[in-house]
Amino acid sequence: MNTKQRKLIYRILPYVILAFIGICFLLPLLWVLVASVDPNAMQSLKMPKQLTAGNYADVLTSSENQRSFVIGLLMSLGQAVIVVLLAVLAAYPLSRYQLKFKKPFMLTILFMTSLPITAVMVPVYQLFLSLKLYDNNVGVVLFYVASSMPYGIWMIKNFMDSVPEDLEEAAWVDGASVITGIRKIIAPLMVPGICTVAIFTFSGSWGNFFVPYILLQTPEKFPASLKLYQFFGQYGMVDYGRLAAFSVLYAIPSIMLYILSQRFMSKGFSMQGGTKG
Amino acid sequence: MGGVPISTPYWRRKNITWIYFLLPSIAIMLLFFIYPILLTFFYSFTNLALTGEAAKELQFVGLDNYTRMFQDPTVRVSIWNTLVFLIGSAVIGQQVLGFLIALLMKHKNKTFRRIIGTVVLAGWVTPEIVCALCLYSFFGDEGTLNAIITSLGISPVTWLYTVPMLTVILANIWHGTAFSMLVFQAALDDVPSEIEEAAVVDGASKLQILFRITIPYIKETITTNMMLVTLQTLGVFGLIYAMTGGGPGTATMTLPIFMYNQAFVNYQLGYGTAISLLLLLLGIVLSLFYIRSLKE
């Protein structure tokens, strides 16, 4: 093998390996997409003989499914809003004050960010029984909020640190209160950060299965994630087409939010030049 | 204890009570996060149960749950499975594959990069339960993988029964690799190209550049990513539960699944909590290690 041939192989090989990896990642995904429009969907990937929107129609017209989607949306939205509000409040003194306990507090927060939630579910279940919060969607949201607070505070505080204080001071001179300063000056400047945290919190809760699985019992209260599991747990995965259609519909919010978050993150802090010149 | 403002004297005049800002989030974390962690320690020394005598009266049983745990062969299997799952899917799978993809993608055709990147990211963005469903049907007896190998003239394999651990490891790699890929893409972009070019001029081979320059340069990123990925993987429940339910037998029984079975299938909450504590301690040790590696 001469040098020219070797060079050619070196050039092509990465493309071959990447293409192979790409196909491996694509195949399972392709199945769910194709099966969702195939009236005779099977377990394996195959070309559908005809296309149908019937699976989607079936899933969408079922009032049970509609309810699970609405419940999921409300729970995830509620959680995202509460987390952002509380995290902005908490991050403010942490970002603007010199507090004695700040460093240990932030380290505790970071530590809590990384603990596996799975490990506390048994005591949380017991706690929910004694607080009469078991099988209560609001209770699930409260637990979600608590478990995403560490991440929320950590991120929001970092974002807030890079908002210049000068603008805020100017507002105070004009007679604004601290809360007005946060609402009218800091929050608008932190939109990318706030959106990042909100989106992350929303998709975390939307995609979560274990927490509602433990804390909810009545099928009427199930969010979409549980409904989907119920679907393929109980019916022995017979109706692949509808199952796939439900999965695609359920995955759409996560995918859209991810695309949205990319836009926010790439925008970055274009407003930071506000105090320059 | 009043907070002293960082830069402006305005604060001293206004004397803001900063504690009110922190109170709501601290309260909710204390009640629903820190208190349950403390409860884990407490309940693991009790006979807490959902049915039978113990359900009526909570009793301290000392170290009973722990002696039981150390004698229970399923615990040993679960710990072993958890480690295999961690190392296979997180440490080796997601890290190495994520790094490999990021490395191979560098300086490649833009459209090609975008296509591969999108496909890998799709697995990450997809919710856990949908991933479980996709991979379950991929490895199923009449699934895509068997359809492919049958068409190649190889007889089909019952993947979920013969190599169940491998299937859940691959599922978690499919679900999680994008995170490492993104992290390593960013890190590799930060490696100054002058250093690598200088090494090329000095006659270094591609492998030498990789192991002597690139990897040492992004060492910190590798450590941080490793910890994050490991901690995420430690708590994985839905993916395994929906694909294999921990079986067949105890073949894919990891600590979270075993904990679930003991607490909610066998109604032994006290014993389940003792297992949670084991999981929690693993998480705490790993987190502390992670925070230390971040501080350095």
pLDDT in tens, B23-71: 999 999 999 999 998 888 888 888 777 666 555 677 787 788 888 888 8
Give residue A261's pLDDT.
79
Whether omega before B248 lies within 30 degrees of 0, making that bond cis, reads: yes
Q: Are the Cβ atoms of A44 and B287 closer than 8 angstroms?
A: no
- Give backbone dihedrals phi and psi of B248, rounded to 5 degrees, phi first: -65, 145
Task: Say how far apart CA A53 and CA A106 lie, in whole Å.
Answer: 51
| A chain contacts of residue B134, beta-carbon cutoff 8 Å | 28-29, 31-32, 247
CA of A235, closest CA in chain B: separation in Å?
Answer: 13
Cα–Cα distance for residue pair B156/B166, rounded to 1 Å: 16
Q: What is the mean pLDDT of residues B193-201?
A: 84
**The pLDDT of residue B12 is above 90:** no
Looking at residue B54, its pLDDT comes to 55
Percent of chain B with pLDDT over 90: 39
Per-position DSSP letters for A237-255, written without gaps between them: T--HHHHHHHHHHHHHHHH
Q: In a mutagenesis test of the A interface, which of B10, B21, B41 is the best target, namely the one with the most A β-carbons within 10 Å?
A: B21
* Biggest alpha carbon–alpha carbon distance for chain A: 79
Residue A271 binned pLDDT confidence (cut-offs 50, 70, 90): very low
Query: Where does the pLDDT of residue A115 fall: very low under 50, low under 70, confident under 90, or very high at 90 and above?
Result: confident
Distance from CA of B126 to the nearest CA of A (A): 6
Pick the residue from chain A with its C-alpha nearest to B103.
A14
Question: In 3-state terms, what secondary structure has residue B18?
Answer: coil
B19 within 8 A of A101, measured Cβ to Cβ: no
Q: Which residue has the higher pLDDT, A236 or B118?
A: B118
- What integer pLDDT is reported at residue B2 of this predicted model? 45
**pLDDT grade, residue A234 (50/70/90)?**
low
For residue B236, the SS3 value is coil
Tokens in use for A190?
């932190």
Average pLDDT over residues A216-236: 83
Q: Searching chain B, which residue's CA lies closest to the CA of residue A212?
A: B238
Average pLDDT of the segment spanning A120-146:
92
- Which residue do the tokens 């240990």 mark? A104
Token pair for residue B273?
Answer: 């909590």
Mean pLDDT estimate for chain A: 86
Question: Do B242 and A147 make contact, defined as CB atoms within 8 angstroms?
Answer: no
- Note the pLDDT of residue B53: 57
pLDDT number for residue A262: 78
Interface test with B, best of A12, A24, A34, A120 (most B CBs within 10 A): A120
Taking residues A15-33, what's their average pLDDT? 93
**B246 against B171, higher pLDDT:** B171
CA distance A250 to chain B (A): 8
The residue ranking higher by pLDDT, A84 or A193, is A84
Is the separation of the CB atoms in A86 and B24 below 8 Å? yes
What pLDDT was estimated at residue B50?
67
pLDDT for res A39? 85
Distance (Å) from the C-alpha of residue B271 to the closest C-alpha of chain A?
10
User: What pLDDT shows up at residue A274?
Assistant: 44
* pTM of the shown model: 0.88
B4 membership: H or E segment, kind and range: strand B4-5
Give the model's pLDDT for residue A268.
45
Highest mean pLDDT among A160-164, A254-258, B137-141: B137-141
Residues of B in contact with A44 (CB under 8 A): 137, 140, 142-144, 146-147
pLDDT at B1 over 50: no
Among residues 188-217 of chain A, which lie with CB inside 8 Å of chain B?
203, 206-210, 213-214
Query: Do residues B257 and B165 make contact, with C-beta atoms less than 8 angstroms apart?
Result: no
Q: Which amino acid is at B75?
A: V
| pLDDT computed for residue B213 by the predictor | 87
Q: How far apart are CA A22 and CA B101, in angstroms?
A: 10
Residue B154 has pLDDT above 50, yes or no: yes
Of A98, A118, A232, which has the smallest distance from its Cβ to B279's Cβ?
Answer: A118
Nearest to A243 by CA among A48, A70, A41, A51: A41
Q: Which residues pair with A98 in a beta bridge?
A: B4
Using the beta-carbon criterion (under 8 Å), do B16 and A178 form an inter-chain contact? yes
* Cβ pair A250:B31 closer than 8 A: no
Mean pLDDT of chain B: 86
pLDDT above 50 (res B9):
no
Residue A233 in contact with partner chain B when CB distance is under 8 A: yes
pLDDT at A275 over 70: no
For residue A100, the model assigns a pLDDT of: 79
